[in-house]
């Protein structure tokens, strides 16, 4: 992993607290919806799951707690340490393994997994050839009929985020946004963590096309947060149970609507080998 985007990613995650992210703000919606979309297609436990780019282990430990055999692979040493620490907190359902690794070269044998999660690599790998390599690695390790979940960040996420969170007018953000919208290549030379790190932002059809180009049959292309992440009073909607269920029900109704897919912060493409 020698390219500068991977170096920037490593630097970003050294400074950012990924371990707590999914428990704060609208990221709670990302977490709940991703869990829902995983369970929608995942066979009953026990299955063998590779969580590739699994970060601090939020999804891996959750799936292990449900009785699955889960192997986490991540390139960031701190993430692997955090995942192992979280695993020790559930001694009856620990992770099967948590190791350093690269999505483009998985340390697992062919046809050894029932499911592969790629919930980060497809936007952290900024070159299409690298993303296809990661997807083909997922295809290799999956058994026939196995499933992959590939997450992308929407091409329009930085525009919507900047408008919603008040940094659209910041001069140093203007060239970042201009390139995002023009080509999907997100670069942040400022050091401002609010602007994220180097990444690739997909158009919905691009994400689906990469899965099919890697040999998968597309099962579903779905908005994760939909437009819910832009809610003005998200905390109220999320913390009042009745309003939370109304929000989730509304987002399900429009989760496949082509005209709204790009309004979601994350898009999830689910493929079958």
Question: Domain containing 113 — which CATH number?
Answer: 3.40.50.150
3-state secondary structure (DSSP) of residue 143: strand
Q: Is residue 172 part of a domain?
A: no
Domain annotation covers residue 195: no
**Structure confidence at residue 2 (pLDDT):** 44
Q: What is the pLDDT of residue 3?
A: 60
- Cβ–Cβ under 8 Å, residues 19 and 56: yes
The length of the chain is 273
> Is 197 a member of any domain?
no
Residue at 142 is within a domain: yes
Q: What pLDDT score was predicted for residue 15?
A: 80
Strand 199-202, strand 142-154: pairing: parallel
Q: Say how many domains are in the chain.
A: 1
How many angstroms separate the CA atoms of 67 and 79, rounded? 22
Structure tokens at 154: 């929407």
Copy the structure tokens of residue 170: 């910041």
Q: What is the pLDDT along the chain (273 residues), one digit of tens a residue?
A: 446 677 788 888 988 888 889 999 999 999 999 999 999 999 999 999 999 999 999 999 999 999 999 999 999 999 999 999 999 999 999 999 999 999 999 999 999 999 999 999 999 999 999 999 999 999 999 999 999 999 999 999 999 999 999 999 999 999 999 999 999 999 999 989 999 999 999 999 999 999 999 999 999 999 999 999 999 999 999 999 999 999 999 999 999 999 999 999 999 999 999
Query: What is the span of the domain harbouring residue 20?
Result: 4-155+202-272
Q: How far is residue 37's CA from residue 75's CA, in Å, rounded to a whole number?
A: 25
Cβ atoms 28, 238 nearer than 8 A: yes
pLDDT at 14 (0 to 100): 80
Residue 162 belongs to some domain of the structure: no
> What's the CA gap between 198 and 10, in Å, rounded?
10
Strands 266-272 and 217-223: antiparallel
**Model's pTM, two decimal places?**
0.96
Q: Is residue 116 part of a domain?
A: yes
CB-side neighbour CA atoms (13 Å) of 17 = 5
Q: Is residue 133 part of a domain?
A: yes
DSSP string, 76-100: -HHHHHHHHHHHHT-TTS--SEEEE
181 part of a folded domain: no
């Amino acid at each position: 992993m020698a390219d500068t985007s991977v170096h920037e990613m490593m630097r970003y995650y050294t400074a950012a607290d990924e371990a707590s992210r999914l428990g704060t703000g609208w990221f709670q919606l990302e977490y709940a919806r991703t869990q829902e979309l995983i369970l929608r297609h995942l066979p009953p436990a026990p299955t063998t799951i590779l969580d590739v780019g699994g970060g601090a282990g939020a999804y891996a430990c959750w799936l292990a707690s449900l009785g699955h055999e889960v192997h986490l692979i991540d390139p960031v040493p701190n993430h692997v340490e955090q995942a192992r620490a979280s695993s020790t907190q559930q001694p009856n359902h620990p992770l099967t393994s948590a190791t350093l690794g690269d999505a483009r070269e998985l340390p697992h044998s062919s046809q050894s997994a029932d499911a592969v999660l790629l919930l980060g690599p497809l936007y952290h790998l900024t070159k299409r050839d690298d993303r296809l390599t990661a997807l083909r690695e997922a295809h290799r390790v999956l058994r026939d009929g196995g499933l992959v979940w590939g997450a992308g960040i929407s091409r329009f996420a930085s525009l919507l985020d900047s408008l919603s969170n008040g940094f659209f007018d910041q001069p140093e953000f203007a060239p970042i946004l201009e390139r995002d919208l023009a080509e999907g290549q997100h670069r942040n030379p400022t050091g401002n963590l609010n602007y994220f790190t180097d990444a690739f932002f997909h158009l919905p059809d691009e994400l689906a096309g990469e899965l099919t180009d890697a040999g998968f049959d597309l099962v579903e292309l779905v908005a994760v947060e939909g437009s819910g992440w832009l809610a003005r009073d998200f905390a109220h909607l999320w913390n009042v149970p009745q309003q939370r269920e109304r929000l989730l029900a509304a987002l399900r109704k429009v989760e496949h609507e082509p005209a709204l897919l790009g309004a979601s912060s994350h898009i999830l493409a689910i493929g079958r080998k």
